[in-house]
Chain A
Amino acid sequence: MEVESGAFVEKARAALGDATLQHALKHIKHGFVEARANAAARLPDFEAMRDRARDVKAHTIANLADYLEQFEANVTALGGRVHWARDAGEARAIVLAICRNTGARTVTKSKSMVTEEIELNPYLEEHGIEPIETDLGEYIIQLRKEKPSHIIAPVIHLSKDQVADTFHEHHPKHGFHERLTVRSDMVREARSILRQRFVKADVGITGANFLVAETGSAVVVTNEGNADLTASLPDTHIVVTGIEKLVPTLDDCHLMLRLLPRSATGQDITAYISFFTGPKRAADLSGPSSFHVVLLDNGRSNMMGTEFEEMLRCIRCGACLNHCPVYANIGGHAYGSVYPGPMGAVLTPSLAGIDKAGHLPNASSFCGRCEEVCPVRIPLPRMMRHWREREFERHLTPRGARWGLHAWAVIAASPTVYRAMQWTTSRLLRLVAWRGWIRRLPLAGAGWTGQRDMRPPSGDSFQRQWRKRGGRR
């Protein structure tokens, strides 16, 4: 998994100055935040459902091996096949081998973050197979050679005009020469192109929102119906997903399906919910004759039994991204990981290593809103803090910050030293103030005064004044 979080600060700064991006990000508030709040308010049972969903996922993760075996047995009994991939490389090789066996030249794909995680598209292209993204958002970023900036809304960073330009640049080869600017026209044009690709594809690859152990089903939700066409038209259907997507029963799955769209887009239900259960039966008129499920570990099982285990409950709804004040201001690309925002801040270091994802768990004000809206109640801030602890233990925290923290710990350990420090700082701050305000400070203080002023202390420290006035101690 490619992670480029080293340039986070620079990318975030650029994002803050990007007027088009800033305009696009404004949709989050109305399109997601308010929509989720309304959806939650419409369902009196919502909070209790979140508790149950948390418990279902926690139980599944605690018994994951058993449920995985049950799932595999059911898929096999249906005539499908389960493949186990330890890492991204194995997963890519498995998918390529299946494609080669069928002699595939084009592959349609419905939206899948796991295939982004394993960077499947460039790999297939290298090996002469053309992957075609069929989710409208994914289709757009594929044309633009970009990465998704949101786990459920991959083109949230783009404006309609940018999409119009992209279509105008790439669609003439399909016979469309006009630059369309009406949303529905643009969708119709993309759809007519994609219809041809669906029909001609040799293999269809989907992700899975859930895997149901008791039936061996892979469940996918979409609003465009593209997963159904991806899975049903070609002769081979490959599901590529992570091992943590499992739920034990159909009832559990229905609980999750009630929470997922409400948390994600504020919809009571998505336009399409598809259950893919094995290959075509003898009596079926259509459907793939071969059905594969590639189950990816890629670091997930290492999270079990650690302080990050609860992250495996994640159902990838994106609510934590939508409600994150950092994400809402900089968008997803600044994080340099396919998993951005709070869930990415916990998951990315788990999958790729904390040494590669340093900024991610740090770029949070710990406001806690992500945890507040998480449908499966993952304590995201706590886990980000655990990543900061791992960094600190491994001396990955920047040296200046380490020294500052050590110094503060020494100061706070002794009330005498603390009081002397407060006295000195108070005097210094009052000294550098001009007309009642501090406008510029050096070192770490420059981060403060670069953005805002500071009012200096009004006098000696409270404790000193209290003592002088004879207050009880």
Chain B
Amino acid sequence: MPFSGPSRLCAARRLWHYAPVKKPLQTKPQAALFVTCLVDLIRPQVGFASAALIEAAGFEVVVPKGQTCCGQPNYNSGDRRAARSMAERTIEELEPYSHVVVPSGSCAGMIKVHYPSLFDEADALFGKARALADRTEELTVFLARHGYTPSVPLQATRVAYHDSCSGLRELGIHDQPRALLRKLPGLKLLELSEPEVCCGFGGTFCVKYPDISGRMVENKTADITATGADTVAMGDVGCLLNIEGKLRREGRDIRACHVAELLAGTLEPRRGG
């Protein structure tokens, strides 16, 4: 069990050697990890960190193999028909699982808040969408409910937390990730001066209106820098890519990571440059 106690292996090695338990105990309940397309493609390590955390919370992790995208890009761009068929696929794919965990406030919000609105109340899929919404949880909400015991070496000391808008406003995620981070001994949690202001990612918004999005993330990185943090943690890879990319472009020596990476202790060591 890779996360049963403090390890002397460096984080990257541990991540590499991490393998899910192949023959789980029959008593363990199953949780499906809906990994989201951004994590899947750009930050696979967030998926592994999430899997490790769900497992440590006492669940057997299953990654349903037919999962693709929740449909949010199409939904928010007005392509409701495509969004509905993508939702339909996802609903069917996740049908067998009594727990669905999503390491993203935005994708979890899509499933929990918006899926039901895509179907007529008379439609059989409406009921299924509602049921899936009830079974789905964002990762930090899931962990806050099912337990999280820190058993990892501390990888950052001064951590600012960035709230993603969907998580904060659609799902009310505010205290959970902060409470989880506070469990890491020695970690000092810092608050931004404007935590409720959007970082400027906004899905397709950031490429449709790059100038405005660029200014929004510039304001955000300035706020992060002012806290004196060495690391900024958050629950959405969309915000993460945006903030991390801006910090890097500005030449700031602040790491950005998904909150799961800090909680699982799988954060990559700092790179030079």
Contacts and interface: CB of A to CB of B under 8 A. Distances in A.
Contacts of A453: 245-246, 248-249
Interface stretch (A235-243, A314-322, A365-373): A365-373
Contacts of B19: 469-471
Interface in B66-95: 66-69, 71, 73-80, 82, 85-86, 89
B134 interface: no
Interface stretch (A162-170, A180-188, A325-333): A325-333
A459 interface: yes
B82 A409 contact: yes
Contacts of A392: 77-80
B216 A470 contact: no
Interface stretch (B38-46, B119-127, B153-161, B179-187): B38-46
B43 A458 contact: yes
Given A388-B78, A451-B246, A471-B61, A460 B44 contact: yes
A441 to B, nearest CB: 10
A24 to B, nearest CB: 15
A272 interface: no
Contact of A470 (B22, B89, B217): B22
Nearest to A328: B197
B interface: dominant SS = helix
Contact of A452 (B43, B71, B203, B217): B217
A84 interface: no
A450 B45 contact: no
B40 A451 contact: no
A363 B169 contact: no
B47 interface: yes
Given A9-B209, A412-B69, A412-B89, A450 B169 contact: no
A450 B77 contact: no
B198 interface: yes
A274 interface: no
B65 interface: yes
A401 B80 CA distance: 14
Interface in B214-229: 214-217, 219
Given A448-B206, A448-B210, A450-B210, A463 B216 contact: no
Contacts of B211: 9, 12-13, 16, 451
Which residue among B45, B207, B273 has the maximum number of chain A CB atoms within 10 Å of its CB? B207
Interface in B37-66: 37, 39-48, 51, 60-66
Nearest to B12: A458
A385 interface: yes
A456 B63 CA distance: 23
Interface string A437-473: 1000000110110111111111111110111011111
Contacts of A9: 209, 211
Which residue among A362, A387, A408, A445 has the maximum number of chain B CB atoms within 10 Å of its CB? A408
B202 A365 contact: yes
A interface: dominant SS = helix
Nearest to B164: A367
Nearest to A33: B194
B13 interface: no
Nearest to A329: B215
A70 interface: no
A462 B165 contact: no
B40 A463 contact: yes
A461 B40 contact: yes
B254 interface: no
Contacts of A369: 165, 169, 196-198
A411 interface: yes
A473 B82 contact: no
Interface stretch (A138-146, A262-270, A418-426): A418-426
B213 interface: yes
B203 to A, nearest CB: 7
Given A12-B209, A388-B77, A413-B85, A325 B245 contact: no
Which residue among B48, B51, B64, B212 has the maximum number of chain A CB atoms within 10 Å of its CB? B212
A392 B201 CA distance: 22
B143 interface: no
B150 interface: no
B166 A368 contact: yes
B210 A473 contact: no
A356 interface: no
Given A362-B208, A401-B204, A413-B85, A451 B67 contact: no
15 contacts: A9-B209, A13-B211, A325-B200, A363-B205, A365-B205, A369-B169, A409-B74, A429-B42, A453-B246, A453-B249, A454-B241, A455-B248, A457-B41, A462-B35, A472-B20
Interface of B: 18-20, 22, 24, 35, 37, 39-48, 51, 60-69, 71, 73-80, 82, 85-86, 89, 165-166, 169-170, 194, 196-198, 200-217, 219, 241-242, 244-246, 248-249, 268, 271, 273
Interface of A: 9, 12-13, 16, 29, 325-326, 329-330, 362-369, 371-372, 385, 387-393, 397, 401, 405-406, 408-409, 411-415, 418, 422, 425-426, 429, 435-437, 444-445, 447-448, 450-463, 465-467, 469-473
